Amino acid sequence: MKAQKNEAGMLSRRSVLKESAALLVGGASVGAVGASAATAAASKLPADAPPLPWKWVKLDPLEAGRRAYRNYATKGGCGSATYLALLSLLKEKVGYPYTTLPDMMMIHAGAGYGGHGTLCGALGGASLIINLVAYDPKSTAYMQIIDRLFWWYAEQEFPTARFDDISPMPGQIQVKAMSPLCHTSVSKWTLSAGAQVTSKAKKERCAKVAGEVVYIATLALNEYFDGKWTPPVWKPSKGIEHCLGCHGPDNMEQSTEGMNNQQGHLECLMCHADHTAAAAK
């Protein structure tokens, strides 16, 4: 009886050991498969985006502008219109890393960012691309290109006739924007044109604005990367020279003897009365 019990105990222990060994081997196999699957999945993950600046290639300004004009009606307004015009061309001609950017990243910029009437979304969409390709921690050129684009916009009479050949409304009334702000740019035009902001005429005007912004931005970037772009020197208009003489500087980096309580290149008298005029009387 004792012999039988001992033999049974030994068989039982052998069975346990065999089962344990099988489990270990099975677990190792599962672990190997899991590790292999994880490695395969990791290999499919997109690479991290490279640091700025990203590659720029020379683009056709007119093709870029036409894309922006058409995008306005189909891609959610002015912010997406300019952003996607440049992004689509760079995806086609460069590929990665532009292929990592989402299409709808600038849709919020329409109607002056969330409908708030602040910065014209067309400028915001173009500025994003300018920063991607021209950013340099050792240079302020990317800021100068954007700054120049903004005060060109303020001085421009919109809409231009550049896209009239593909527009159902050629020859629209042209009105000086006076400011990079959506509210000012649009309101001055609608009041002069006798149009409503919801009208087809206003939307057609803004589509042309988006096209022109991209056209000018593309020209500037082509010149910059060809080494032909000269940083502009902003000069205030005659009407506000005296404003900056007291309230300067014109940017936060420059130190002057004035009150130093303003920055920027906006036209002062768009928002402020000329308090010196009364004092001069």
Residues 73, 120, single domain; the answer is: yes
Q: What's the whole-model pTM score?
A: 0.77
Number of domains in the chain: 2
Residues 219, 126, single domain; the answer is: yes
**Would you mind telling me the total number of residues written for the chain in this entry?**
281
Residues 150, 249, single domain; the answer is: no
Task: Examine residue 141 and state whether it is found in any structural domain, yes or no.
Answer: yes
User: If DSSP codes are grouped into helix, strand and coil, which group holds residue 256?
Assistant: coil
Task: Examine residue 24 and state whether it is found in any structural domain, yes or no.
Answer: no
Task: Examine residue 66 and state whether it is found in any structural domain, yes or no.
Answer: yes
Q: What is the DSSP letter of 123?
A: H
Task: Examine residue 221 and state whether it is found in any structural domain, yes or no.
Answer: yes
Residues 104, 77, single domain; the answer is: yes
Burial of 225 (0-12, 13-18, 19+ CB in 10 A): middle
Task: Examine residue 249 and state whether it is found in any structural domain, yes or no.
Answer: yes
Task: Examine residue 124 and state whether it is found in any structural domain, yes or no.
Answer: yes
Q: What is the pLDDT along the chain (281 residues), one digit of tens a residue?
A: 545 545 545 545 555 445 555 544 555 454 555 556 555 554 565 667 899 999 999 999 999 999 999 999 999 999 999 999 999 999 999 999 999 999 999 999 999 999 999 999 999 999 999 999 999 999 999 999 999 999 999 999 999 999 999 999 999 999 999 999 999 999 999 999 999 999 999 999 999 999 999 999 999 999 999 999 887 766 666 666 666 666 666 555 655 566 666 656 666 566 666 777 655 55
User: For residue 223, which of 147, 136, 161, 134 has the smallest C-alpha distance?
Assistant: 134
Residues 134, 259, single domain; the answer is: no
Residue 274: count of CB within 10 angstroms of its CB: 14
For every residue of 127-155, DSSP letters joined together read HHHHHHHH--TT--HHHHHHHHHHHHHHH
Q: For residue 112, give its domain range.
A: 61-156+207-225
